[in-house]
Amino acid sequence: MQPIILPMVLTIAESQDKNDLEISSLPALVPVLNTASGETLLLLVKHAELIINKASQEYLISHVLPMLVRAYDDTDARLQEEVLKKTILLAKQLDFQIVKQVVLPRVHGLALKTTVAAVRVNALLCFSDMVHILDKKSVLDVLQTIQQCTAVDHSAPTLMCTLGVANSILKQVDILTNLAFGIEFVAEYVLPLLIPLLITQQLNVQQFAKYMLFVKDALSCEMVKRKAIEAVEMELQERTFGNNRVYFPAIPKEDGFRRRHFRGMSTVTLVDLRARIDEYQEEAGVDEVDQEKIKLASLYFASAVLGPRRKRKKEVVDPDWMRLVDDINSFNTYPWGRLAYEEVLFGLRKDLRARFEEFTTLAKKRKRDPNFSGFGSLHLSGFVQPLQILAYEIYNGVAEAFATRREDADVSLSRMCHWVTRKWHKNHAPSHSDVVAAFSSSSCEVSMHMKFK
């Protein structure tokens, strides 16, 4: 009698509001939901949306979920196809851990084990719809399942559903803040899955174009990300420098300085530059000789202390600076402070970005164990000493722990020249815990009277 009576009951239930359904119809359906099989189970699964939308979460977990689990595990392809269509609707109503433990493994199993194309397609469509509620680990499992499917099934529907999952992941890319699905995730895991599928013969011209459009969109996301980062950097610079915008002047093209001092040398190192300073004894007037030595010494200071250390090894002298120093006035008025500041920011961003996940893990360990201090160190490039001296100037406790102020320093010198950092043996250098202790000490008070020049 169930196949005859059940459709009428479901029709009545559809016209009821949520309260009436919970009071009258749902309790009456419990025996059927718990025991249904065959055609009755198929009928219930087809109308599962009605129950899922109006039932409480407790009812869903106790009665609807077990019914759908039986449908997942059934060998009838019709049941499998219908339950996959209802999966995302159910997943939105349940806690993620329940979905992860009960629902997802069965969807993976149907995608991998079925021999029916419609079931595999619906499983892949289910993955595509669920991406926005999954965590990174679950999405990686989905991509692994898809890789196994596409290794044996190159049919157009499977390939296009694979592209659908990729597009769903790309839509979740939060260009600046989403750590789970950043564009790096797409580049590392999604593109390597799709690129080999581009050469499959089962894709027609329109389908191939959709694959290429995804690649283009992924590259566009990276471009947008870079522009956004550049905009943030520009805003930071604007806040830092205000209206005092600094522009780097053009570097002269004339290379007379190199020809005079380093003729025939394709690369000039700091060692070469220092040797030239020591040996320079040209037969010329004293003033001219001194002027050349000033140029050599100025170039050495800029290269050894302020010089960027990005693409070249740190001992290589920048050829642009060798052309610039030939006009010592232009060299002296070059915005070295701005250049040094940008180099420090570059090094800091690069090191932090490369070690972000490592520091995230270490921070969790520190949260569990307040005494944990295994953060290691950051290796910054450029002229970082001003940041160190700024801490001396602002925090009394840090200055007392690591430096000494020279009271006899010439007041005409820059304030950073008034400090001497203590010398430490390489085996007894300050550790992370020493720095934390200095900042945490009772003597570490902010010097509110300081004024920046």
Taking only the tens place, the pLDDT of each residue in 122-142 is 999 999 999 988 888 899 999
Yes or no: say if 123 and 88 are a contact pair by the CB < 8 Å rule.
Answer: no
Burial of 21 (0-12, 13-18, 19+ CB in 10 A): buried
Yes or no: say if 344 and 381 are a contact pair by the CB < 8 Å rule.
Answer: yes
Could you tell me if 330 and 389 lie in one domain?
no
3-state secondary structure of 318: coil
Our count of domains for the chain comes to 2
Cα→Cα distances 417→153, 178, 404, Å: 71, 43, 11
Say what the pLDDT of residue 451 is. 45
User: Does residue 207 belong to any structural domain of this protein?
Assistant: no
3-state secondary structure of 375: coil
User: Does residue 324 belong to any structural domain of this protein?
Assistant: yes
Say what the pLDDT of residue 1 is. 46
User: Does residue 4 belong to any structural domain of this protein?
Assistant: no
Cα→Cα distances 432→192, 435, 439, Å: 40, 5, 11
d(C-alpha 254, C-alpha 324), whole Å: 9
Which of 317, 334, 351 is the endpoint of a domain? 334
Say what the pLDDT of residue 132 is. 87
User: Does residue 164 belong to any structural domain of this protein?
Assistant: no
pTM, entire model: 0.53
> What is the Cα 188 distance to its own chain's centre?
12
d(C-alpha 178, C-alpha 180), whole Å: 6
d(C-alpha 184, C-alpha 215), whole Å: 13
Of the candidates 227, 223, 204, 205, which has an alpha carbon nearest to the alpha carbon of residue 215? 223
Could you tell me if 328 and 393 lie in one domain?
no
Splitting the chain (453 residues) into consecutive groups of 10 residues, what average pLDDT does each group show? 64 72 75 83 84 82 89 91 90 88 92 92 93 89 94 92 93 57 83 91 92 90 76 64 60 82 86 85 60 88 74 70 89 85 77 64 67 63 80 79 82 81 69 72 54 43
Could you tell me if 392 and 325 lie in one domain?
no
What domain range is 416 assigned to?
384-440
User: Does residue 93 belong to any structural domain of this protein?
Assistant: no
The torsion angles phi and psi of 403, rounded to 5 degrees, stand at -150, 170
Say what the pLDDT of residue 453 is. 42
Could you tell me if 269 and 329 lie in one domain?
yes
The residues, ordered by sequence, that sit 6+ positions from 7 with a Cβ below 8 Å of its Cβ are 43
User: Does residue 353 belong to any structural domain of this protein?
Assistant: no
d(C-alpha 323, C-alpha 447), whole Å: 43
Buried b / exposed e over 297-329, threshold 16 CB at 10 Å, is ebbbebbeebbbeeeeeebbbbbebbbbbbbee
Say what the pLDDT of residue 156 is. 92
User: Does residue 361 belong to any structural domain of this protein?
Assistant: no
Could you tell me if 330 and 394 lie in one domain?
no
Which of 334, 367, 401 is the endpoint of a domain? 334
User: Does residue 45 belong to any structural domain of this protein?
Assistant: no
Q: Which two tokens stand for residue 287?
A: 């003033």
Yes or no: say if 66 and 92 are a contact pair by the CB < 8 Å rule.
Answer: no
